[in-house]
Amino acid sequence: MKRILIYIFSFFTVVLPGSAQRMMTLSECIGQALDANYGIRIAVNNEQINRNNRNYGVFLPTLSASASQRESTVDSKRTDSNGTERKFNNTVTDNLSASVNLNWRIFDGLAMFTTHARLKEIVSRGELETRLAVEKLIAQVSTGYYNILVQTSLLKAAKQTLELSEQRFNVAMQKYKIGNLSGLELKQTKIDLNADSSSLVEQQEALRSAYINLNTLMNTELKRVDYVKDSIVLLPMLQYEDIQDRMLADNTSLEIARRDKKISELDLKLARSAFFPTVDFQSGYSFSRSDSPQSITTFSQSNGLFWGFSMNLPIFDKLENSRKLKNSKVELKNNELNYQDLELQMKSDLAQLYNSYENSLLMVSFESESAEVAYETLQAAMERYRLGDLSGIEFREFQRSYVSAVTRKLTAEFQAKTAEISLMLLSGGLRM
């Protein structure tokens, strides 16, 4: 049995080299995740794309230059009014033209101003999406961090249980040798010892999996372990009314929904601007030259500035603008309904989360006491078992009671902490 224990502990020590690891706090884990997480990088890049799209180009004119040169060789025949017929073979004609054109839309039903405002709202929405990604990552890292603490505590309890099972087996072996214990009970202690050994291995695996999950979020070496040494500390009890007020005012998802409503309002303005006339200013410089030696006009050339205004008034466009206007109104209504639905869902989530939060806090208080009492009882039971005042079956029940109490306590603490994190996420309180 000692060799089994040595194997288990040595295996865990190889996988979790605690002495070689620098301890990391929750804030340090969050900071590393924000710096290295791929999802955050993508969100930041998308935000930069939105910023690049927002410029003053809608207010500026377009300026273009063009040039062309065309040379042709043709055979032609011409009959003059006096009946004279002339033939021209291999006539070479050379045409050259160039121009610089400026076009500036100076009125379009205020569409350019609306477009610029819309791009600004899209940038703001992109910033909110980045903030939401950051908040969710903070929540994920925090949950993963505290899960490691829970799994570490469960591993400690599993070690304690295994040590007691080994002591029980040794005591049973001594009693069996002197004839004070039956072989059947000795075999049962061995079965229980093996079961606790298996439980320890399973708990080691659960702890390693918890580290892999956190390492993935931090984009670090997946096999990196044993750098979290902390305890779960709950904040002072959060108040329902305060959380709800902050949620309605600061929740990032609700703010994104409000931005969507604003963008839909601007889309409606854009649809209405299509019914107004557009006024453009054109200006430029043009040059043209034609050289045809065997034509009546053998050479011509012109160049100079030009400018002017043009107006375009939509009269009938197959009802296309009307269709866009109607759809814009429907989209605005849909976004208003989406916001109301999201707000209702947020309130529902808050009510359920807060109910779970309150219950978990109550469970933490009495499960902590139960775990302490169960540990003291287990120690006393071990002494009674050594003295022969307690049967192996009864002692095993005390062991199970202790493991169950510790598990319930840690589960309650973890549930309370995760509910606390979720409430902070809903209220917009997880921001760096």
The confidence score (pLDDT) of residue 59 equals 92
> What is the average pLDDT across 187-216?
93
Whether the Cβ atoms of residue 49 and residue 230 lie closer than 8 Å to each other: no
Strand-pair partners of 85: 79
Per the model's pLDDT, the better-predicted residue between 12 and 90 turns out to be: 90
Write down the domain spans for the chain. 2-36+108-277+313-426, 58-73+89-107+278-312
The confidence score (pLDDT) of residue 75 equals 67
Per the model's pLDDT, the better-predicted residue between 85 and 252 turns out to be: 252
Per the model's pLDDT, the better-predicted residue between 20 and 415 turns out to be: 415
> Can you state the percent helix, strand and coil of the chain, rounding each to 5?
65, 15, 20
Strand-pair partners of 312: 278
Tokens encoding 349: 């989530």
Most confident of 84-93, 156-165, 388-397: 156-165
Task: Give 67's pLDDT tier (boundaries 50, 70, 90).
Answer: very high
The confidence score (pLDDT) of residue 282 equals 95
Rounded to 5 degrees, φ, ψ at 391 are -75, 165
Rounded to 5 degrees, φ, ψ at 253 are -65, -40
- H or E stretch covering 33: helix 26-36
> What is the average pLDDT across 189-203?
92
- H or E stretch covering 81: none
Per the model's pLDDT, the better-predicted residue between 8 and 215 turns out to be: 215
Which pLDDT tens digit goes with each residue over 314-339?
A: 888 888 989 999 999 999 999 999 99
**Which pTM does this prediction carry?**
0.84
Per the model's pLDDT, the better-predicted residue between 60 and 295 turns out to be: 60
- Pick the closest to residue 305 from 100, 158, 122, 141 (CA basis): 100
Backbone Cα Rg of the chain: 40
Which pLDDT tens digit goes with each residue over 262-300?
A: 999 999 999 999 999 999 999 999 999 887 766 556 677
Share of the chain above pLDDT 90, in %: 62
Give 236's contacts (C-beta < 8 A, 6+ positions apart): none
Per the model's pLDDT, the better-predicted residue between 222 and 395 turns out to be: 222
Which pLDDT tens digit goes with each residue over 408-425?
A: 999 999 999 999 999 999
The confidence score (pLDDT) of residue 290 equals 81
Give 207's contacts (C-beta < 8 A, 6+ positions apart): 16, 148, 151, 152, 154, 155, 225
Locate all alpha helices (DSSP H) within 251-292, ordered by sequence: 252-273
Share of the chain above pLDDT 70, in %: 91
Task: Give 14's pLDDT tier (boundaries 50, 70, 90).
Answer: very low
Average pLDDT across the chain, whole number: 88
The confidence score (pLDDT) of residue 7 equals 33
Q: How is 314-361 classified by DSSP, letter by letter?
A: ---STTHHHHHHHHHHHHHHHHHHHHHHHHHHHHHHHHHHHHHHHHHH
Task: Give 17's pLDDT tier (boundaries 50, 70, 90).
Answer: very low
Lowest-confidence pick of 88-102, 271-285, 359-373, 395-409: 88-102
The confidence score (pLDDT) of residue 165 equals 87
Answer yes or no: is pLDDT of 255 > 90: yes
Which pLDDT tens digit goes with each residue over 119-147?
A: 999 999 999 999 999 999 999 999 999 99
Task: Give 3's pLDDT tier (boundaries 50, 70, 90).
Answer: very low
The confidence score (pLDDT) of residue 297 equals 62
Whether the Cβ atoms of residue 360 and residue 409 lie closer than 8 Å to each other: no
The Cα 20–Cα 148 span in angstroms is 18
- Pick the closest to residue 88 from 333, 382, 278, 295 (CA basis): 295
The confidence score (pLDDT) of residue 20 equals 52
The confidence score (pLDDT) of residue 21 equals 65
Tokens encoding 318: 């197959």
CATH superfamily of 2-36+108-277+313-426: Outer membrane efflux proteins (OEP) (1.20.1600.10)
Which pLDDT tens digit goes with each residue over 339-354?
A: 999 999 999 999 999 9
